[in-house]
Structure 1
Amino acid sequence: MSEVKLLGTQSSFPCARIIWALKLKEVEYEFIEEDLFNKSPLLLKMNPVYKKVPVLIHSDKPVVESLVILEYIDETWKHNPLLPEDPYERAMARFWAKFVDEKCVLSAWEAVKSEGENKKKAIETAQEMFEHLEKQIAGKKYFGGEKIGYLDLVIGWTSLWLNAMEEVGGMKLLVPEKFPSLSEWTQNFIRVPAIQDSLPPLENVVNYFQVGLDYLRSLSANK
């Protein structure tokens, strides 16, 4: 039995964050694929509050929520640190991570599911959020400095999952001419072997988002 288990889905970017962190830390783990439409008893037991992935199980103790798990991994396995040593820089990394999940991801998904005039406004809002990240990465190779860190893993969803969102939504959010530094960072990020080797096929992620979008629209149609 593995001491470290990860409950997740290959197409979920919060799960990908944890896979990347474990690989960068060279931590051996067992990945357990979950069907989110038919959740396993283990998932329901280990995350009874939110009932979602990812869930890291370390020595039979569950840790949930991807940002929390990343910090747990960094504090448990000290080598190849992810968060900066400086307290202010650590605080800023946490601030921008929260911004990414609460503003960038949600605004991008809003652009995916919006239609008509609302879609145009949603795209503009999402791009306004990405402008903040563009300023943060300008002049740097990684958000973590010269090597990949905590914030890079959090923003890593733009390397593949944003492409899938754009395809499903029939739009373009991360325009290279508008976001040159962020676009260059994306290319640097996916060249790292631990990242590149862990990316799921794009078509799987496209299907993942399409299924989610179709489900939401079916709920709206049945109201």
Structure 2
Amino acid sequence: MATEKVKLLGFVFSPFSRRVEWALKLKGIDYEYVEEDIFNKSPLLLQLNPVRKKIPVLVHGNKVVPESFTILEYIDETWKQNPLMPQDPYARAISRFWANFTEEKVLDGAFTALIFSTGEQQEKALKSTIEALEHIEGDLMGKKILGGESLGYLDIAMGWISYWLPIWEEVGSRQVLDPSKFPATISWMNKFLSHPLIKDNLPRRDKTVAYFHGRRNFFTSG
């Protein structure tokens, strides 16, 4: 039943758990948030997600749902108010495609380039990330497949670009989002961040920058 208690295991600086919170708030769902120490995983997390041992994990009654994209679709199908996914099957399929593309090509590439690496590995990851963003700028933003006036699945799935990517650029001292090359993407980012639900549900920027500086130092100090 949709009225059963909802619990979310997450991590404050994670874009993956944050997108689940955005979806829950857009749907108006009451939930209990449990902050996890991802470096010292709790017995509860290991019990609920023994396969991946990662956040986020959604608990709805006695049902356990891992992985943020899977959780988003579960939320949308369980609570029908304020739909996230388009009604048209083709539009839903395209939304899934772009969400996965952005995750695999932009998020992974940007994290590698700006947080995880230096030198040749960094340059290769930067090039790959920018090429992927060029596809998003031309093929996605130009066709306005995102939610429009109301936030939708794809806005939430890609929303990390608006907040986390500029922070990673600062931490890695490299630019990915050149305003002259990505005007449509940056316009969408600004619109997304100005949404009341989003701007009031972001981690503190100074603490987020400090956290990722720590991660970069950890990964690159060897």
AA aligned opposite 1:145: G
TM-score where L is the length of structure 1: 0.92
TM-score scaled to structure 2, two decimals? Answer: 0.92
Deviation at 1:55, TM superposition (A): 0.5
The whole-number CA distance in structure 1 between the counterparts of 2:175 and 2:208 is: 16
Match of 2:161 in 1: 158
Residues 55 and 65 of structure 1 are in contact (CA less than 8 Å); yes or no, is this contact kept in structure 2? yes
Q: 2:141: which partner in 1?
A: 137
Kindly provide the CA deviation profile for residues 19-78 of structure 1, in whole angstroms up to 9, marking residues without a partner as x: 100010000111111111111111111111111100111103210000000000000000
The one of 89, 92, 98 equivalent to 2:91 is 89
The one-letter code matched in structure 1 to 2:192 is: F
Q: 2:10 aligns with which of 8, 11, 30?
A: 8
Structure 1: stretches of 5+ with no match in the other structure: none
8 A Cα contact 2:11 2:37, kept in partner: yes
Amino acid at match of 1:32: V
**AA matched with 1:54:** P
Partner of 1:121: 124
CA distance in 1, matches of 2:142, 2:150: 15
Q: Distance in 1 between matches of 2:45 and 2:197?
A: 26
| 1:76 paired residue among 75, 78, 100 | 78
Alignment-mate amino acid for residue 53 of structure 1: I
CA distance in structure 1 between the partners assigned to 2:122 and 2:42 by the alignment: 36
The AA in structure 1 aligned to 2:124 is K
Instruction: Show the 5 A alignment for 1:20-59.
Output: 20-59=22-61
- Aligned pairs for 1:195-210 within 5 A: 195-210=198-213
Paired residue type of 1:86: D
Aligned-pair identity in percent equals 50
Q: How many residues align?
A: 217
Residues 139, 181 of structure 1: 8 Å contact kept: no
**Alignment-mate amino acid for residue 97 of structure 2:** F
Letter in 2 for 1:99: F
CA distance in 1, matches of 2:201, 2:39: 23
Q: Which amino acid aligns with 2:28?
A: E
The residue number in structure 2 matching 1:19 is 21
Structure 2, unaligned runs of 5 or more: none
Q: How much does 1:117 deviate? A: 4.3
Q: Distance in 1 between matches of 2:105 and 2:41?
A: 28
Counterpart contact for 1:138–1:182, Cα < 8 Å: no
Opposite residue 72 of structure 1, the aligned amino acid is Y
Residue pair 2:105, 2:128 contacting (<8 A) in 1 also = no
Secondary structure of 1:146 counterpart: coil
Pick from 146, 151, 159 the counterpart of residue 149 of structure 2: 146
Whether the aligned pair in 2 keeps the contact of 1:5 and 1:56 (CA below 8 Å) is yes
